[in-house]
Amino acid sequence: MTAVFWFRRDLRLGDNPALLAACACGPVLPLFVLDPALWGPAGPSRRAYLAASLRALDASLRADGGRLAVVSGDPVRRVVEAARRVGATEVHVAADHGPYGARRDREVEAALAEADVALVRTGSAYAVSPGRVRKADGSAYQVFTPFSRAWAEHGWRGPVEAPSGVDWRHLAEGTADLPRPRLPGGLELPEAGEDAARCRWSAFLDTGVAGYDELRDRPDLPATSRMSHHLKWGEIHPRTLLADLAPLHSVGARTYRTELAWREFYADVLDRRPDTARDYLRPEYARMPYDEPDERFEAWCVGRTGFPVVDAAMRQLRASGWMHNRMRMVVASFLVKDLHVEWQHGARHFLHWLVDGDLASNNHGWQWTAGCGTDAAPFFRVFNPTAQGRRFDPDGAYVRRWVPELADPERIPDAHDPSAEARHRVGYPLAILDHGVERREALQRWETIRR
C-alpha cells in the first residue's frame, strides 16, 4: 500500500512521527507543494530560506535513495493528482493548526475522499498540539502562567528515530525545480536544514543554555539559541529540544523551556481565536485613535528614525531576516506608542522580512506589546528607546554593528544618544520625534478607551 507524505512545516526526516506513520504503510512519495497562497505573499527572506531548506531536505532524501517531489499550484488539486499518480491510498501530514492551513487541509481532505484516499494527521509542529491543554471544565486558558503549568503537567512524547529502509517513490514528470529566489543586496541568511538545526542546537547546549536566563536580553552578545527559524520550518521539533533540556536543572534551561511554552501558548490562542491573526484580541483597543502610516513609518521600516537602538534593530531585520527578541519589543513599542500606528502594520512588515515569521508568535507578540493581547504588557509601559539601548547594549556594540554611521567611538562617543553635531558629521538623522511628548500623547489616547 503506497502512501504520500506531504511535507509542510516539518522539513526533516528525524523525529517525524507523521513520516513514520506514512512509512509504515509501504512505499512513500515525499511531496512538497509550492502553494501560491503562501509563496506569493512571503517576503524575500522567507522564500530564500524555505528554498534552501527544501534543498537540504532533498539532499537528505537522495542520500537515502529518494528525492523530493516538488509541485506548484493549489494543494487541493496537486495533492490529489500526486496521490493518484503513485496509486496512494493515504496522504500523511502533521496537523496544521494555523487559520489558513487548517482550512486548506479540510478542503484537501474532502477532495481526497472523493478519490478514495484518506488524509491521515499525526502530531503537529508543537510538543503539545493546540487544543489539548485545557482547564478542568474544558475551557481554554486565557493567560500564560497557568497554561504553562498545565502544559508541563500534560507532557509530550519523546523523539522518534528517522525512518530507515524506505521504498521511496518518485514522480516521473510534472515536478518543478527547487526554487532559487534572488535576495536583495546585503541580505544574508543563516544555514538551513535539519543538519544545521541540530548543529546549532548542540552548540547552544554546550555553550549558551547555562547563562541564557541572565544574558538573553543582550542583543550585543551571541546569547540566544537562534533556533526560531529552525522551529518555524520544522527542521527540528520542539520535543527534541525539550528532551535534551530535561536532564538540565540550570535556571537557563528552565527559562528556555518557558520560552518554548510561550510559543505553544500563542499557537493555542490562535487555534482558539483564528480571528486574532488580524484583529484585536481585546477589541476595545481597536477604538483607540491611531495615525495612518506616513513618512515616519517609512523611516521606522528602513532604520532611519534617529533613535540608534531602534534603527539598529530594523537594519538587523533587513540584513539578516532576524531580530533579537528584546529589540522586537522595543521597536514594536516605538511603532505603536511613539508613532501611534496600529500593530498590524508592524506585524506585516515583520512577516515580510523575518525568516522565522510565525503567524501565531509574531502577531500575538505584537499584541502583547500593544497592550491588546493575552498577558499584555500594560499600555502605560512605554519603552524609552534610549534607556533600553543603554540598559541592554551597555557598550553600544549592537548599535555600532548595525548602524555603521555610528561605528567609530572616537567620532561618536555615545552611540545611544549622539549629539546633533555628531549626527550631522556622519550623516545620521536627528530623532524624528520627541519620545517624552509622544509618550504623553499615547497615554492620552489610551484614556479615551478607559472612560
For the segment 388-436, what is each residue's pLDDT rounded down to a tens digit? 999 999 999 999 999 999 999 999 999 999 999 999 999 999 999 999 9
CATH number of the structural domain spanning residue 14: 3.40.50.620
Q: Is residue 392 part of a domain?
A: yes
Asked if pLDDT for residue 179 goes beyond 90, the answer is no
Q: Is residue 139 part of a domain?
A: no
CATH number of the structural domain spanning residue 239: 1.25.40.80
Report field, pTM of the whole predicted structure over 0.75 = yes
C-alpha angle with apex 97: 96 to 98, nearest 5 degrees? Answer: 100
- Tell me: do 384 and 295 sit in the same domain: yes
d(CA 27, CA 166): 7
Give me the mean pLDDT over the 19-47 stretch: 95
Q: Is residue 165 part of a domain?
A: no
Residues in the chain: 451
What stretches of 92-143 show up as alpha helix (H) in DSSP? 99-114
Q: Is residue 160 part of a domain?
A: no
- Tell me: do 322 and 243 sit in the same domain: no
How many domains does the structure of the chain reveal?
3
C-alpha angle with apex 345: 342 to 346, nearest 5 degrees? Answer: 95
d(CA 265, CA 267): 5
240: domain range?
Answer: 194-272
Query: How many other β-carbons are positioned within 10 Å of the β-carbon of residue 438?
Result: 17
- Tell me: do 239 and 309 sit in the same domain: no
What stretches of 393-434 show up as alpha helix (H) in DSSP? 397-402, 420-426
- Tell me: do 348 and 316 sit in the same domain: yes
CATH number of the structural domain spanning residue 343: 1.10.579.10
d(CA 36, CA 248): 43
pLDDT digits (tens, 9 = 90+) for 344-360: 999 999 999 999 999 99
- Tell me: do 305 and 353 sit in the same domain: yes
Q: Which amino acid is located at 298 in the chain?
A: E
- Tell me: do 250 and 387 sit in the same domain: no
- Tell me: do 249 and 294 sit in the same domain: no
Q: Is residue 143 part of a domain?
A: no
Give me the mean pLDDT over the 56-68 stretch: 96
pLDDT digits (tens, 9 = 90+) for 246-256: 999 999 999 99
The reported pLDDT for the residue numbered 182 is: 86
